[in-house]
Amino acid sequence: MVTVKVGVTGVISVVVILIGVFLAWLEYGTTGEEEYWRMATAAAQTDEEFISTNQSAFMVGATGETGKHILEELTNRKLFQTVTLIGRREVKYDGEKYQSIVQKVVDFDNLDDHADAFKDHDVGFICLGARAGNTGVTSNLPALRKVDHDYVVKSAELAKAGGCRHLVLLSAMKASKDASHPYSKIKGEVEEEAKALGFDRLSIFQPAVIMVDRKDETRVGEWFLKKALAPVAFFFPTALTVPIATLARAMVNVALTPKDKDVEVLDNKAIHRMGGKK
């Protein structure tokens, strides 16, 4: 009996060590892409320099968690002359910092009827989609495809036709058109279709688990996952998680960096790099 107990303890110890080594590799391993984003971040314009270029932006998905944080980043820093929010309903925003906001209410099932909402923007932010942990949506593949693929791709198409030069697209870690998981597969298909549109610049963000502090979290699975990942986020901050504020800041900051590629993909580590406070 004692021998069995020691054996189990030994196996657990080995597993813990292997997990630690894997997380350390994710955290501290370096790639050419990481060096590229380090240099890009260093060469970014200051907020004042970017503001002087008098650009406008639109956003689809402003009422979602990531969209809310992006909007706060944009309005606090006053980077764009106007920010057009394209959504199902109008949202009330109070405060002087929201004076640059323009709202366009659209029917996502008939977006072609609202093509004007996508015209004449320099930069577009698309962060529309269901959360991977939202089983009510992700278990319903037709609904998932409609929101995460159809609405997103049509928005990108109208943005390109309307003259948008730089599209900033929120995707997901492990997104691939060849993935076996429906969520990752749909995200990968969207990426490929966005690339085919030929934007002057396309920035695709592939975050890992987005850490959100929801005071009213009712999903037990998401609550447990957040608690389980808290120590990982503390000791290995870039390995498997990203704070939502860091993600939002990164998606805004990328607009201030010089273009080097027509299509650029930011993985979780690059997002942490780009999301460093300016």
Instruction: Answer yes or no: pTM beyond 0.75.
Output: yes
pLDDT at 4: 47
Question: Does 226 participate in catalysis according to the annotation?
Answer: no
Question: Does 183 participate in catalysis according to the annotation?
Answer: yes
CA distance 203 to 174: 16
pLDDT at 35: 62
Q: Is residue 139 part of a domain?
A: yes
pLDDT at 229: 61
Q: What's the half-sphere exposure (Cβ side, CA atoms, 13 Å) at 106?
A: 25
Q: Is residue 17 part of a domain?
A: no
* Regions of the chain short of the pLDDT cut 70: 1-40, 43, 131-139, 214-237, 239, 277-278
pLDDT at 157: 99
Catalytic residue selected from 151, 160, 185, 187? 187
CA distance 208 to 132: 11
**DSSP SS3 for 60:** strand
Question: Kindly report the CA angle at 278 between 171 and 52, in degrees rounded to 5?
Answer: 95
Range of the domain at 120: 31-274
Q: Is residue 2 part of a domain?
A: no
pLDDT at 192: 98
Q: Is residue 3 part of a domain?
A: no
Give the distance from CA 105 to its chain's centroid: 23
CA distance 128 to 64: 7
Q: Is residue 195 part of a domain?
A: yes
Q: What is the pLDDT of residues 65-90, one digit of tens each?
A: 999 999 999 999 999 999 999 999 99
**Is 62 within 8 Å of 83 (Cβ atoms)?**
no
Q: Is residue 14 part of a domain?
A: no
Catalytic residue selected from 151, 160, 183, 185? 183
Question: Kindly report the CA angle at 123 between 117 and 126, in degrees rounded to 5?
Answer: 70
Number of domains in the chain: 1
Q: What is the CATH number of the domain that holds 97?
A: 3.40.50.720
